[in-house]
Amino acid sequence: MAGPADFLTPADLQKIANLQVLARLVVEGVCSGLHTSPHKGFSVEFREHRQYVQGDEIRRLDWKVYGKTDRLYIKEYEEETNLRATLLVDVSGSMGYAGAGISKARYATQLAACLSYLLLRQADSVGLVTFDKKVRDYIPPRSRPSHLRVVLEALEKTKPGGETELAKVFHQLVPKIHRRGLLIILSDCFGDVPELMKALAHFCHAHHEIIIFQVWDPDELNFPFKQWTRFDSLESATDQKLVDPAQLRAVYLENLGRFRQALKDGCHRHRIDLVPVTTDQPYADALAQYLARRMKTV
């Protein structure tokens, strides 16, 4: 079974020990601020029933409802927590690329583990969604320290593969993540930028705050290939091309620049934090640098 030590080294934890994730917006009527008075546990006010999903605590099952319907339902209460954060981790085929270092998927997994630890440590709620062209796993946000193991186990078992449809998945998630909070997306964001921005705008209209950690392999940014190379699609087993990189490099970099600028402009319009990271940069360093900048702007 996965545990914090499988993802986070003592050095990593030290780098983020004095940092806090700060929400710029008022979340569910509570100003997060510096989290000076974090609440713990649950209120006594019952809100609704919902169907059991993996990761829910069994002790919260309503056995009376089960006896009547033969279905598992959870009692939902109003959580007394400052911030509800949901990590949206892209595990599509393109995230499986690995140049000289680890894959983008592994990097995203480690970064998600680091964020989960940090958020739970400051008494916030953390949920997890893994997806490719559809949702693979959905774990609702919880604030109990024991919830970290649930999140880490889900991250550890997930392997990259399948096609990408970010916009479609995000539109489907809006009603599922029905309480506004902080959405942290870990993805390479490959796809049609206008459609992706429409989906992100859908999240914004639901009053979520969004941070995107866009994960790159250095090869994708530098295109260092020089000899004839066979490129295999990571999202389609039959798509292969043998090409001369010298003939493609200029066009590739030009298209890459347009893609990155369009994504940057779209995120700026919607007040979304876009944070490019590369797999050759230690993930704890990348997170610490971003959070240090964020603390100065809140």
In the chain, what are the domains? 4-27+82-297 (3.40.50.410), 41-80 (no CATH)
CA distance 237 to 1: 31
- Mean pLDDT, rounded, for 179-197: 93
In this structure, of 79-83, 153-157, 199-203, 246-250, the range with the lowest mean pLDDT score is: 79-83
Confidence grade of residue 158 (pLDDT, cut at 50, 70, 90): confident
CA distance 161 to 285: 27
CA distance 252 to 159: 28
DSSP string, 71-138: S-EEEEEEE--S-EEEEEEE-SGGGG--SSS--HHHHHHHHHHHHHHHHHHTT-EEEEEEESSSEEEE
Among 69, 223, 50, 206, smallest CA distance to 138 is for 50
CA distance 228 to 148: 46
| Per-residue pLDDT, 4 | 58
Share of the chain above pLDDT 90, in %: 36
| Per-residue pLDDT, 233 | 67
| Per-residue pLDDT, 5 | 58
pLDDT(215) > 70: yes
| Per-residue pLDDT, 29 | 27
pLDDT digit string (tens) for 34-61? Answer: 343 333 333 345 556 778 777 677 777 8
Burial class (CB in 10 A: 0-12, 13-18, 19+), 227: exposed
The more confidently predicted of residues 218 and 22 is 218
pLDDT digit string (tens) for 138-151? Answer: 999 998 888 888 88
- Mean pLDDT, rounded, for 175-204: 93
pLDDT digit string (tens) for 247-291? Answer: 888 898 999 999 999 999 999 999 999 999 999 998 888 888 888
Q: Please state, in angstroms and as integers, the Cα–Cα distance from residue 58 to each residue in 54, 72, 73, 78, 82, following that order.
A: 10, 10, 10, 18, 24
The more confidently predicted of residues 240 and 93 is 93
The more confidently predicted of residues 120 and 32 is 120
Confidence grade of residue 238 (pLDDT, cut at 50, 70, 90): low
Give buried/exposed letters for 55-91 (b at 16+ CB in 10 A, else e): bbeeeeeeeeeeeeeeeebbeeeebebbbbbbbbbbb
| Per-residue pLDDT, 49 | 76
CA distance 52 to 73: 5
**72's tokens:** 């598992």
Among 178, 94, 182, smallest CA distance to 131 is for 94
pLDDT(14) > 80: no
- Which are the contacts of 239, defined by CB distance < 8 A and separation ≥ 6? 232, 233
